[in-house]
Amino acid sequence: MADIYLYNTIARAKQLFEPLDPSNVRMYVCGPTVYDYAHIGNARPVVVFDVLFRLLKLVYGEERVTYSRNFTDIDDKIMNRAAEEGTSIRTISRRYEKVYTEDMAMLNALPPSRTPRATEHLPEMIKMMRTLIDKGHAYEAEGHVMFHVPSMDNYGRLSGHSRDELVAGARVEVAPYKKDPADFVLWKPSSDDQPGWGSPWGRGRPGWHLECSCMIEKHMGETIDIHGGGQDLIFPHHENEIAQSECANDGKQFVRYWMHNGYLTVDGEKMSKSLGNFHTVHDLVQDHPGEALRLSLLTAHYRQPVDFSLATVAEQKRRLDRWYRLVDGVQAAETVPASVVEALSDDLNTPKAIAAIDALAAKETAAELKAAAQFMGLLTQDSSAWFRGDTPDGITVDEIEALIEARSTAKRHKDFAESDRIRDRLINHGVILEDGPSGTTWRKAD
RNA sequence: GGCGCGAUGGCGGAGUGGCGACGCAGCGGAUUGCAAAUCCGUGUACACGAGUUCGAUUCUCGUUCGCGCCUCCA
C-alpha cells in the first residue's frame, strides 16, 4: 500500500499521513455559501480534494473514507440576496445549492459522502455554545454569544498569528460588547425582519465558524483526519474552528492534518467582476468540456497559485484530444498505474501525475493510460462522444454522413475539387474530416 | 508594520548537490491528392550577488521583484 505524504499547514511540513482509524478515514472540506453561482476559483478546492478523496479510497478502500462538504445556508450574503428578491433564504440557498451540485458534477467531482447544511444543525450549535460558556470560553453580551480568545492558551497556532498581533493589526473597529478585541462571534441577534432561531440568548443566528465545528463533531467525531479549504480560510475561519472545537472538548485534538489550496488568478490577475475576468463555472461548462476545465485546475500543484485562462483550457483540451484518440475502443486496465499513484501520494503532486499519464500516452500503453486518467476523473466518456459532442450547428449527423459518402465517391473518381468543396462546406458547420486507413471520420471543431 | 509563499526555456509546469521531467507553441522531415491526425528530429532554462563544495538551478546569507493573509472572500 502506498504511503501518502501530505503537507500539514499546522506543522508547516510534509508529513506521513496516518489516519486515526484506517477503516474510517475522515475528511471535511469547507463548502460554499450558497448565495450565487460558484466561480472557477471556488471550483479549485472541489477538484483538488476530489483527487484526494479518490486517492484515499484507492489506498484505504472504497467504503472506508468519509468525505463531508458543507453548505453554508445561513449568512448575511444570503439574507441580502433574499431581501433583494423578496424571497426566503431557503429559496436562495436551495437554488444555488442545486446549481453548485450540478456544476461540480460537470467537473467530474464525485459527490461527497455527506453534504450537511448549517441550518439543520441549530441544536448542535446551541449545545456547543452552552458547553463553551460553561467552561469559561464564551460569554453572552447584548444578545450575542462571543468566544473569549484569551481563555485559550494556544490560540493562533494554525495561522501563526498571536492574539497580540491580531489586536495590534486590527483593521476593524472593536465592537463595544467584546471583552477582548480578538473575541469573535458565535451567535448574533436577529431583528424581527431577519431570519432567526430561538436560543437561550434570544432569537438570533449563528456566526460563520460555529457550523463547521458542530457538523464535523456530529457526523465524524471529535477528531478528524483531514480538514481542507482555501488558504484564505486559515485565518480566521479555521483558527476559530479549532478554538471552538478544542475548547469544547477539553483540548482534544480537532484535526490531524490541515490542508489548504492556493489561490487562482485569471489572466494573471485576481478575478473580479470589474476587471471583466470573472468566470462562473456555470458559464464555463456551456462552452468548454468539464474535463478540460478540471485538467486546467490540476496543472499546477494545489499549494501553488494557478493562473486560469481560456488559453490554458484550450491547451488542456488538446491534450485530452490526444489521449482520447489513443484510448478509442480500449478497455481500461484493472489497476491504476503506480507512477500516477506515487505522484499523487507525494502531497497530491498533480502536475507530476499528469506527466506520468503523458508517459503512458502511447498505443502500447493505452489501457494503462485510460486507467490512470479515469482515476483522476478524466477520459470518462467514449472517444466518439468526446469528439462529436452534441450535434454541430445547423446540420444533422445523417447529413454529415451523407456528405462524407458523397465525398468518398468524388475521391474515388479523383474529383478533388468536389471533394474539397464538401470538406469546406462541413468546416463551415464546424465539422472537421479526418481521412484514416479505415475510412473518413469526423469531429467537432474547437 | 506582522506572518507566510514564490521567482525554472516563447508559454505552462515538475524536479534534482553532478545526465536538458513532461506538455503546449515554434522549426525541419516522414506520411497525405489536399488536409487533419500520427511518427521522427530539433532548444547550452533555472531572477541577481556573495558563500559552502571537487562541483550549486538545487544548500546558506543578502538583494531585487511578485503574491497572499492580518476578523465578508476558495
By percentage, how much of chain A surpasses pLDDT 90? 72
Given a contact cutoff of 8 angstroms between Cβ atoms, the answer to whether A280 and A102 are in contact is no
For residue A411 the three cell numbers come to 475521391
Separation of A342 CA and B52 C1' (Å)? 33
Task: Identify any residues that bridge with A65 across adjacent strands, giving them in sequence order.
Answer: A25
Instruction: State the pLDDT at residue A1.
Output: 58
pLDDT tens profile A226-266:
999 999 899 889 999 999 999 999 999 999 999 999 988 88
Q: Is the pLDDT of residue A172 over 60?
A: no
pLDDT tens profile A176-210:
888 888 899 999 999 998 999 999 999 999 998 99
Strand B at less than 7 A from CB of A435? yes
Q: Which of residues 210-229 of A touch strand B (CB under 7 A)?
A: 229
pLDDT tens profile A373-413:
999 999 999 998 999 876 667 788 889 999 999 999 999 89
Strand B at less than 7 A from CB of A333? no
* Phi, psi values for residue A168, rounded to 5°: -65, -35
Instruction: Give the relative orientation of helices A366-375 and A338-345 as an angle to the nearest 10 degrees.
Output: 30
Separation of A410 CA and B54 C1' (Å)? 72
For residue A108 the three cell numbers come to 467530474
| Nearest nucleotide from residue A181 CA, by C1' atom | B71
pLDDT grade for A166, boundaries at 50, 70 and 90: low
Higher pLDDT, A267 or A231: A231
Reported ipTM: 0.91
Count of other CB atoms within 10 angstroms of residue A59: 20
What structural domains and CATH numbers belong to chain A? Answer: 19-261 (3.40.50.620), 277-386 (no CATH), 390-444 (no CATH)
Count of other CB atoms within 10 angstroms of residue A208: 19
Residue ranges of alpha helices (H) inside A150-273 are 163-168, 210-220, 239-248
Given a contact cutoff of 8 angstroms between Cβ atoms, the answer to whether A34 and A78 are in contact is yes
pLDDT tens profile A50-90:
999 999 999 999 999 999 999 999 999 999 999 999 999 99
